[in-house]
Chain A
Amino acid sequence: MAFRLEIVTPEGRAFSDEVNDVVLPGGLGEMDVLPSHSNLVSTLVPGELRYKAKDGSTHELAIGSGFAEIQGDHVNVLTDLAISDAQIDEQAVEAALSRAQERLKDSENLGAENVAAMEAAIANSLAQLKLKRKRRTL
């Protein structure tokens, strides 16, 4: 039994395929969704999404905050960011992270708009880095 997983971001459809199983970073903790799940809407926190493709292989994606809508044999994930782990360049992420934190340190000199930008950048970079790191230890 398989169901359709779709991940949409404001910049387009990031993923759309039949999968057997998906683990979502839900607002109440990780959540495993199998076929024939009841209708549900759950919040998502920035973290990793794992899914098992039809051929049995497991894949991972870093996603931002958003929500998942489960309805019938469709799982729709709405998030502002979705990057598969092949797309993540660890060094670039780390550089971005340290740059952002550096600038946030003297946040007193920055305007409120810059601080907001930095905080968002850090949250995103952290989610990406976590996924990449985890992948390596496996």
Chain B
Amino acid sequence: MPSTRDLRRRIKSVKNTAQITKAMQLVAAAKMKKAQDQATQGRPYADLMNKVLVSLKEQAGENTHPFFSPGKGEKTLVVVVTSDKGLCGALNTNLLRKLTQTDFGADVEYVTIGRKGAGSLARLKKNLSADFPIKDPARFLELRTVGKFLQDRFLTGEYCRLLVAFNNFVNTVTIIPSIEQLLPINTVTLGGKRSYEGMGAGEVEDASTGPVLEYTFEPSTGEVFATILPQYVNNTLYQMVLEARASEHSSRMVAMKNATDNAKQMLKDLSLEYNKLRQAAITNELLEITTAKMALE
């Protein structure tokens, strides 16, 4: 039986924990909003790129760039985007489970973005070839570096395809671990809407349905393609990382909300017990006084 003093101590500590988790919840909510805004701001860029890509596709024929055809090698390169920090529910676990359940063929290499994924894959003794620390909020320039690295790898011809595993943010309660192909680029969907664009899908213009505009391409269609495609890949990667970041923060927000709720419930139970104990002590004392008085009479 705990004493009232023990109980008071516990109540105090639970109260503190609830305060911390509440604060973390608010911070995560603000960060999630920021990641979403960031994704929205990339929209004019994506729109313009799609518009030009569609017109390019018409004029240049499709298989003019190495990014369109699978590499000669057998290997698969998988980019795993996870969070750097924990306390975000089953987010990373779900993604890694999906990863281990998917069959990528015999020869797989991994590149990680985020500390959690790097740690887990290293523990699983997977073939980890590079790890990129990306700050939060993610900057495009940082991801361009990752994009360049991945494209260089792909162009060596060792890999037949390049996949990205990330958490797709649909809304705060629905986060879907997804694996999307980054390279080779799918010519059919090029310039169209992307399937993972959870954050405000439908707002990115689907340029593949509009009228195709005629342009003069300078220096040549081939060279314009060679400039645009790496940027297209980088931007796609950037958007995926933003999705993953939004997922992380929303997942953390939900986890922290649950923690706060649990702490509140615990506080309620503990105070009830504390009050009961206090009342019992008072009753006992009264009883003792009364018996003592009666004994004297």
Please state if B148 and A120 are interface contacts (CB–CB under 8 Å). Answer: yes
Tell me if B132 counts as interface (CB < 8 A to partner A): yes
Tell me if B217 counts as interface (CB < 8 A to partner A): yes
Given the known interface contacts A71-B213, A80-B140, the answer about A40 and B45 at a Cβ–Cβ threshold of 8 Å is no
Contact of B238 among A10, A44, A71 (CB under 8 A): A10
Tell me which residues across on chain A come within 8 A of B146, comparing CB atoms: 113
Please state if A41 and B216 are interface contacts (CB–CB under 8 Å). Answer: yes
Tell me if A53 counts as interface (CB < 8 A to partner B): no
Please encode chain A, from 1 to 33, with 1 for each CB lying within 8 Å of some chain B CB and 0 for all others. 000001011111100000000000011100000
Tell me which residues across on chain B come within 8 A of A66, comparing CB atoms: 227, 231
Tell me if B218 counts as interface (CB < 8 A to partner A): yes
Query: Which of B47-55, B164-172, B183-191 is near enough to bind chain A?
Result: B47-55
List CB contacts (< 8 Å) of A88-117 with chain B.
Answer: 111-113, 116-117
Tell me which residues across on chain A come within 8 A of B234, comparing CB atoms: 10, 80
Complex CA gap A96/B238 in Å reads 23
Tell me which residues across on chain B come within 8 A of A69, comparing CB atoms: 48, 51-52, 215
Tell me if A78 counts as interface (CB < 8 A to partner B): yes
* Central interface residue in A9, A40, A65, by most chain B CB within 10 Å: A9
Tell me if B41 counts as interface (CB < 8 A to partner A): yes
Taking the closest CB of chain B, its distance from the CB of A38, in whole angstroms, is 7
Number of A interface residues in the complex (CB < 8 A): 33
Please state if A28 and B219 are interface contacts (CB–CB under 8 Å). Answer: yes
Please state if A39 and B224 are interface contacts (CB–CB under 8 Å). Answer: no
Please state if A81 and B141 are interface contacts (CB–CB under 8 Å). Answer: yes
Taking the closest CB of chain A, its distance from the CB of B197, in whole angstroms, is 14
Contact of B216 among A11, A40, A124 (CB under 8 A): A40
Number of B interface residues in the complex (CB < 8 A): 38
Complex CA gap A25/B246 in Å reads 36
List CB contacts (< 8 Å) of A51-72 with chain B.
Answer: 65-67, 69, 71
Complex CA gap A10/B241 in Å reads 13
Tell me if B155 counts as interface (CB < 8 A to partner A): no
Tell me if A84 counts as interface (CB < 8 A to partner B): no
List CB contacts (< 8 Å) of B182-234 with chain A.
Answer: 213-219, 223-224, 227-228, 231, 234
Tell me which residues across on chain B come within 8 A of A9, comparing CB atoms: 45, 140
**Closest residue on chain B to residue A40 by CB atoms:** B216
Complex CA gap A104/B48 in Å reads 35
Tell me if B73 counts as interface (CB < 8 A to partner A): no
Please state if A43 and B223 are interface contacts (CB–CB under 8 Å). Answer: yes
Complex CA gap A93/B44 in Å reads 28
Q: Can you report 11 residue pairs joining A to B where beta carbons are below 8 Å apart?
A: A9-B45, A10-B234, A11-B139, A27-B218, A27-B219, A38-B216, A41-B215, A41-B217, A43-B227, A67-B224, A80-B231
Which residues of B approach A to under 8 Å, CB–CB?
38, 41-42, 44-45, 48-49, 51-52, 55-56, 130, 132, 139-141, 144-146, 148-149, 152-153, 213-219, 223-224, 227-228, 231, 234-235, 238
Known: A27-B218, A42-B217. 20 other contacts (CB 8 A): A9-B45, A10-B234, A10-B238, A11-B41, A12-B44, A13-B41, A13-B44, A40-B217, A41-B217, A65-B227, A65-B231, A66-B231, A67-B227, A69-B51, A71-B213, A80-B140, A80-B234, A113-B146, A113-B149, A120-B144
